[in-house]
Amino acid sequence: MAHKVTYIPGDGIGPEVVEAAREVIDATGVKIEWERADAGAEVEVRTGSNLPDATIEQIARSGVALKGPTATAVGRGSRSANVGLRKALDLYANLRPVKSIPGIKSRYENVDLVVVRENTEGLYSGLEHIVVPGVVEAIKIVTERASTRIARFAFEYARRHKRKKVTVVHKANIMKLSDGLFLESARNVARNYSDIEFEDVIVDALCTKLVLDPSQFDVLLLENLYGDIISDLCAGLVGGLGVVGGANIGDTAAVFEAVHGTAPDIAGKGVANPTAVLLSAEMMLLHLGEHEAAARLRGAIEKVLGEGKVRTRDLGGTATLREYVDALKAALA
Ligand code: NAI
């Protein structure tokens, strides 16, 4: 039976890379019935909303979406469609596997770790206000419920994917109550997973350790702000945002999307790199239980990039998006 998957083209290079990704995913042989939904700046111009109710309802129905990047204005305008989606569907876990790809130049060759980020609270709760002119207060929310839920997610993920260790990241030496609660919740959950090693590390020390020797980490568990920053640092360990996938996952729905933006400078030119969307699609296939198709997709990406003959410009090559997609499809054939 075909899986029903919602796809959201998004803005900028979104439509090009999502279309390319659908073509390559279909070439793995997996049966997917694609249903389109819209989000982002383009649909906002047409309908007045960057996240129409129909889009949320459709993802809630299908349970799985592949999303292109959507544009958000800085410091003004509507709330980002991504934040809206996370809230509407309670996508509380942000997941980013970070794995070296043969042939992609980076400082390390064998990075293989997973960043699990709490997606719903912390300093990203959107609670900011002007106390008096010149003084702004931002409120960091930490609840035992959300901290426990994300810790469980990290341990369950570790167990399912045969990972050995979960490292919880915090600054509880300074933020004793807020980060203290996040740490304590993780410790409580860890007691139920004696098969998985558990440790904690202070976020600044983590940065040093990560850049010196990323192989000492396996699954990293972080609250929202640290998770946002550290997940980009980790992407840098394997070659940048163009070569990692990501997902926002809840109990009833999951949205898979590349972590890069809409790349307005190259949109519509046919030179964008769909690798990040494809790596998100690999995660999506695993989520759907399509392990063989996921492995074939990863294999094709590693083969083409490893050979180094067909690469898009951002990876130092000259290939167009079309040429890269054709090379991936040939590798899958
Ligand atoms: P960006 O990631 O769009 O672009 C940064 C640089 O990376 C640009 O030079 C761009 O050409 C290049 N780049 C990004 N993705 C690429 C790809 N797949 N292939 C080749 N080159 C690629 O970041 P920027 O400029 O900060 O953001 C632009 C817009 O994207 C903003 O409106 C922002 O809000 C939005 N954005 C959306 C995200 C999402 O929907 N998940 C995530 C990040 C940004």
Return the CATH number at 212: 3.40.718.10
| DSSP SS3 for 151 | helix
Instruction: Work out the pLDDT band at 32, boundaries 50, 70, 90.
Output: very high
Q: Does residue 242 fall inside a structural domain?
A: no
**pLDDT over 70 at 235, yes or no:** yes
* Residues noted as catalytic: 124, 171, 204, 228
- Last residue within a domain, chosen from 237, 261, 282: 237
Please tell me whether residues 230 and 112 are part of one structural domain: yes
Q: Does residue 141 fall inside a structural domain?
A: yes
Please tell me whether residues 23 and 114 are part of one structural domain: no
Q: What is the mean pLDDT of residues 325-330?
A: 98
d(CA 100, CA 77): 37
- Last residue within a domain, chosen from 237, 264, 296: 237
Q: Does residue 97 fall inside a structural domain?
A: no
Domain with 325 in it:
1-91+252-333
Residue having the nearest C-alpha atom to atom 31 of ligand 1: 71
> What is the Cα 293 distance to its own chain's centre?
20
Region of poorest pLDDT, from 70-84, 112-126, 166-180, 238-252: 70-84
Q: Which DSSP state fits 188?
A: H
Read off the amino acid at residue 220: L
- Last residue within a domain, chosen from 237, 268, 296: 237
Q: Concatenate the DSSP letters of all residues of 117-146 into one string.
A: EE-S-BGGG--EEEEETTEEEE--B--HHH
| DSSP SS3 for 265 | coil
Least Cα distance to 184 among 148, 155, 219, 141 occurs for 148
Q: Does residue 25 fall inside a structural domain?
A: yes
Please tell me whether residues 111 and 202 are part of one structural domain: yes
Q: What is the pLDDT, as a whole number, of residue 68?
A: 97
Domain total for the chain?
2
How many angstroms is it from 122 CA to the middle of ligand 1? 24
Residues 6+ apart with CB under 8 A from 112: 98, 99, 100
Read off the amino acid at residue 205: A
Please tell me whether residues 206 and 298 are part of one structural domain: no
DSSP E strand boundaries for 153-295:
165-170, 197-202, 219-222, 247-249, 254-257
**pLDDT over 90 at 242, yes or no:** no
Least Cα distance to 277 among 3, 25, 63 occurs for 25
Please tell me whether residues 231 and 119 are part of one structural domain: yes
> What is the Cα 62 distance to its own chain's centre?
19
**Ligand 1 atom with least separation from CA of 71:** 32
Please tell me whether residues 220 and 306 are part of one structural domain: no
Q: What is the pLDDT, as a whole number, of residue 119?
A: 94
> What sign does the CA torsion over 76, 77, 82, 86 have?
positive
Read off the amino acid at residue 130: I
Q: Does residue 271 fall inside a structural domain?
A: yes
**pLDDT over 80 at 75, yes or no:** no
More confident residue, 76 or 192: 192
Instruction: Work out the pLDDT band at 125, boundaries 50, 70, 90.
Output: confident
Q: Does residue 96 fall inside a structural domain?
A: no
Residues 6+ apart with CB under 8 A from 286: 294
**pLDDT over 90 at 73, yes or no:** no
Please tell me whether residues 233 and 123 are part of one structural domain: yes
Please tell me whether residues 121 and 168 are part of one structural domain: yes
243 lines ligand 1 (CB under 6 A): no
How many angstroms is it from 264 CA to the middle of ligand 1? 7
**Ligand 1 atom with least separation from CA of 266:** 11
d(CA 224, CA 126): 12
Q: Does residue 156 fall inside a structural domain?
A: yes
Please tell me whether residues 117 and 187 are part of one structural domain: yes
Q: What is the pLDDT, as a whole number, of residue 76?
A: 62
d(CA 197, CA 207): 20
